[in-house]
Structure 1
Amino acid sequence: MPQRRSHIAESAAQSALAEALAAVRAPFDIPFPPEAEAEAERATAIAPDVDLRDIPFATLDPEGSRDLDQAFQLERAGKGFTVRYAIADVPGFVTPGGALDAAARARGQTLYAADGSIPLHPPVLSEGSASLLPDQDRPALVWTFALDAEGVVTGSTLQRALIRSRAQLDYVAAQRALDRDEDSPAALLPEIGRLRLEQEAARGGASLNLPDAEVVRTGAGRYDIERRQPLPVEDWNAQLSLMTGMAAAQLMLDGGVGVLRTMPQPDERTFEEFRTQTQALGRAWTTGRYGEYLRGLDRADPLTLPVLEAASALFRGAGYVVFDGTPPEERMQAAIGAPYAHATAPLRRLVDRWSLTICLALSQGDEVPEWAREGLAELPRLMQESSSRASQLNAQTVECVEAALLAPRVGEVFEATVIRPANGEGEATVQIAEPAVTARAPIPAGATPGAVVRVRLDAADIRTGAVAFSAA
């Protein structure tokens, strides 16, 4: 599925959009308390247990990232592999019960706005002393995995270590290097990633990989909406994180204390509705598991987007389950096909600090710190509230940018693809190709997902993000 960008070039629209985006961001962009900033400035990590600076770790993130949570090192080991996965040692920097801890609990996660992020931790920590930046000595929590020739994890360890990343890779450049068979720290990532994807399929797991509408800034007052399918290297890299999250979940389940990221298996009614939608689109899912069906979709097919939109109903209900004592009955993440925990992004997500703290204690045979046990109960609420804020900020941002893209074109008629069926008022969700906008619009009776319809733009309010279409 090709990448599409639409540009906002008109100066009046730029000015109006800048004001709208500032208004959207304002309620979320609360300054850190001075005592939290001061604590972050003077924070020093717990002394590492081992020195792994001789290991050539590398990071792989979007271009320009500064809050680097993970670094990897991959090597062959006989017929299998050794995977070292280092996670920023945020638990070693944050004092439980301190001002920085309180500020992070209030925020829950890093929020992403059009003009930059609203971080979980002060940048001096998240983009500085705790970030796994290249050519810097950094404390980290390092997982070491032994994989067999099929990519199955046969053993793992976790230790607090001092590391030094040798390279900061970005997705586009890394994919280009792999495609050209150039030497790269990620040279084994395609092989290991594909094996792990095969393991996911064997577990009955599924990946949605729905193209996101991402607002990107390209210059002063200028924004684009970018919709793109993840590169293969992103999927392979994600498998390292998923492998770690599954190991963390199992460690906590075995230890009888922790926090899991769960998602229920869709019920039969949801499956039947999805089957009906795929049949209506002419891309019927008739056999096999839904994950296998989704992996087989042709990303260049214009009907794939409506299919993936319909499939989003299969991925609902994710949440957090905490336990201290008897492991919970509800423990599966259905899309992954295994118990799973968030444990690889502590710079950007609060819950990961708990997962890592608990896993480190259990792996070392130590008592789980009391602060971690006491704080478990409130984690689901804190993460749910922060996720709601993230969704609200993202939705409002995209709506304002879409309105700015459309404002100069009020009165024009556009061709649009129906991606969700009409609601009770006769409005369907449609995708306009240029500019790349998703909107609600009335459609002719009988138009089903995948159909191409013509809609007229009647209004676009940049300040509120509201747009109005009528059938053409």
Structure 2
Amino acid sequence: MTSTNSADGGFARLRAEFELPEDFDPAVLAEAEGVVMDPSGLTADRADATELPLVTLDPPGAKDLDQAILIERRAGGFRVHYAIADLAAFVAPGGPIDREARRRGQTLYLPDGTVPLHPPVLSEGAASLLPREVRPAVLWTLDLDRDGELARATVRRALVRSTEQLDYATEDPAAPHPSIAALPELGTLRRELAVRRGAVEPQLPDRIIGANGGDWVLGMRPRTRLEAWNAEISLLTGMAAARMMIDAKIGLLRTLPEPDAETLNWLRGAAPALGIGWPGGTSVAELLAGLDPAQPESMAFYTDTTRLLRGAGYTTFDGELPEVVTHAGIGAPYAHVTAPIRRLADRFATEVCLAVSAGDPVPAWTRSALTELPGLMSASDLLAARVEKACLDQVEAWMLADRVGEAFEAVVLRAEENRAEILLADPPVMARCAGENLPEGRRISVRLTAVDVDKRKVSFERA
């Protein structure tokens, strides 16, 4: 295995290739430091909600904590208190931080460190909902009935204090912290509702990059039940935000058109070819929910289903609703509002919701930015996807550099006429494989024929 130290600077070369910023301009850092040194304006006109025993729930080691949660059981169902970091409290419209955030769009995550959207003094410090620290936040209050359906949503600015930082690795889903004791029940109800809405969720495994003895290696990270349940709370909040903005006829939505009939018909033909039965009257969401993710035919079908999720973007409107206001992958209107530390769009969509909930006009600085945001976020999403793929490709090449000629077991995810997309069992490399009539959804043996570390390319053929 080739170490990062002997691979031309590791990810430094990749950072240079994509022209990723190494630091923030002095003016941006100075503004951030100034806000932190003089926090007097951060607490004005805020409700005091520090008595709520909120907790954060994130991957181990996370420092940019966007959300804190408390779930209460009530006679008629549930109440969710969801605190979101209030970046607008720290960022002056049109100032150096704001301009730089618009240029970056979102935080980029690389194996050797992040390229943050905001200066770390904010993203990992004063704005982050760190435990036992009083923080300015945007506090959502979401009331749900016994079935988990949203009955009422409000949002306001508040001061909050997270009582504990939980993580997915150590928190027990069978006996969660008292502040999220109702999360398993509510999360399960929300996931059932998602299937009934027609939400499309291919359960493809997450490939992750980690360090092992000085080398970068690939691994597979299964999504835990806590992650799935917690994600439902974020989706719930995004759907509540979207409904607020649609009712007010102003806002910024995350949208995805419904798949066309040709794509759906193709998918219906792909299922029986993989040995997957598709009973009449069963939706895509229902079919996906019933598949076993561990089976190779399921993984191939998940890959095929991603075709239904192409074309997602941001849609802005002010006074007249656009033709498409829903996200087909979620099965409902949806907006990004729960990750403002890491994503630019959330700060502006949140300001719209705060104004609508309070019955106030949307701030002029927010309104004027809405038309610009879809383009900024699309460019940022494209860069993030390219960087993520390049990192995975680079580690694949490093790991396989000395193994040309070896045979590996793989699953055929998607087959074309003379090649296929495959996923190796170990290491979890995803690559193209040459060969005719490769059996989609089946395990085959493949041979590594070439590795180009500099170009981040690996080649296989059927063994």
Q: TM-score, normalised by structure 1?
A: 0.93
Q: Which residue of 2 aligns with 1:105?
A: 102
Task: Give 2:3's match in structure 1, choosing from 5, 13, 19.
Answer: 13
Check the 8 A contact 2:296/2:442 in 1, yes or no: no
1:246 corresponds to which letter in structure 2?
M
Q: Which residue of 2 aligns with 1:230?
A: 223
Instruction: Map 1:121-200 to 2 at 5 A.
Output: 121-174=118-171, 177-179=172-174, 181=175, 183-200=177-194
Structure 1 residues 32 and 282: alpha-carbon distance in aligned structure 2, compared to 1, 3 A threshold: same
2:115 corresponds to which letter in structure 1?
I
Task: Give 1:372's match in structure 2, choosing from 366, 369, 372.
Answer: 366
Deviation string 1:190-236 (CA, Å, 9 cap, x unpaired) is 101011112222222222232222222345x3222122331111111
Q: Which residue of 1 aligns with 2:49?
A: 52
| Distance (whole Å) between structure 2 residues aligned to residue 102 and residue 266 of structure 1 | 36
Secondary structure of the residue aligned to 2:218 is strand
Task: Give 2:274's match in structure 1, choosing from 281, 289, 292.
Answer: 281
Check the 8 A contact 1:46/1:93 in 2, yes or no: no
Structure 1 residues 291 and 188: alpha-carbon distance in aligned structure 2, compared to 1, 3 A threshold: same
Shift of 1:182: 5.6
Deviation string 1:125-165 (CA, Å, 9 cap, x unpaired) is 00000000101011100000111111111111111000000
2:253 corresponds to which letter in structure 1?
L
Which segment drifts farther, 226-235 or 111-120? Answer: 226-235
Q: Are 1:40 and 2:32 an aligned pair?
A: yes
Check the 8 A contact 2:84/2:137 in 1, yes or no: yes
| Distance (whole Å) between structure 1 residues aligned to residue 295 and residue 409 of structure 2 | 17
Q: Are 1:359 and 2:350 an aligned pair?
A: no
Task: Give 1:412's match in structure 2, choosing from 384, 406, 412.
Answer: 406
Secondary structure of the residue aligned to 1:470 is strand
2:173 corresponds to which letter in structure 1?
L
Q: Which residue of 2 aligns with 1:397?
A: 391
Q: Which residue of 1 aligns with 2:437?
A: 446
| Distance (whole Å) between structure 1 residues aligned to residue 176 and residue 11 of structure 2 | 41
Q: Which residue of 1 aligns with 2:12?
A: 22
| Distance (whole Å) between structure 2 residues aligned to residue 431 and residue 83 of structure 1 | 40
1:278 corresponds to which letter in structure 2?
A
| Distance (whole Å) between structure 1 residues aligned to residue 267 and residue 221 of structure 2 | 23
Q: Which residue of 2 aligns with 1:458?
A: 449
Shift of 1:364: 1.0
Shift of 1:78: 0.7
| Distance (whole Å) between structure 1 residues aligned to residue 270 and residue 220 of structure 2 | 23
Shift of 1:299: 2.0
Q: Are 1:249 and 2:255 an aligned pair?
A: no
Secondary structure of the residue aligned to 1:207 is coil
| Distance (whole Å) between structure 1 residues aligned to residue 13 and residue 437 of structure 2 | 40
| Distance (whole Å) between structure 2 residues aligned to residue 286 and residue 449 of structure 1 | 21
Task: Give 2:327's match in structure 1, choosing from 313, 318, 333.
Answer: 333
| Distance (whole Å) between structure 2 residues aligned to residue 469 and residue 328 of structure 1 | 46
Deviation string 1:259-300 (CA, Å, 9 cap, x unpaired) is 010001111111111122221111133331101111111122
Which segment drifts farther, 316-325 or 456-465? Answer: 456-465
Shift of 1:46: 5.4
| Distance (whole Å) between structure 2 residues aligned to residue 72 and residue 158 of structure 1 | 14
| Distance (whole Å) between structure 2 residues aligned to residue 422 and residue 204 of structure 1 | 28
Shift of 1:249: 0.6
Secondary structure of the residue aligned to 1:329 is coil
Q: Are 1:239 and 2:239 an aligned pair?
A: no
Q: Which residue of 2 aligns with 1:72?
A: 69
Check the 8 A contact 1:142/1:159 in 2, yes or no: yes
| Distance (whole Å) between structure 1 residues aligned to residue 455 and residue 6 of structure 2 | 11
Q: Which residue of 1 aligns with 2:203?
A: 209
Which 5+ residue runs of structure 2 have no aligned equivalent? Answer: none
| Distance (whole Å) between structure 2 residues aligned to residue 48 and residue 285 of structure 1 | 55
Check the 8 A contact 1:281/1:449 in 2, yes or no: yes
Which segment drifts farther, 147-156 or 128-137? Answer: 147-156
Shift of 1:67: 0.3
Q: Would you say how many aligned residue pairs link Structure 1 and Structure 2? A: 455
| Distance (whole Å) between structure 2 residues aligned to residue 122 and residue 18 of structure 1 | 28
Q: Which residue of 1 aligns with 2:424?
A: 432
| Distance (whole Å) between structure 2 residues aligned to residue 167 and residue 129 of structure 1 | 17
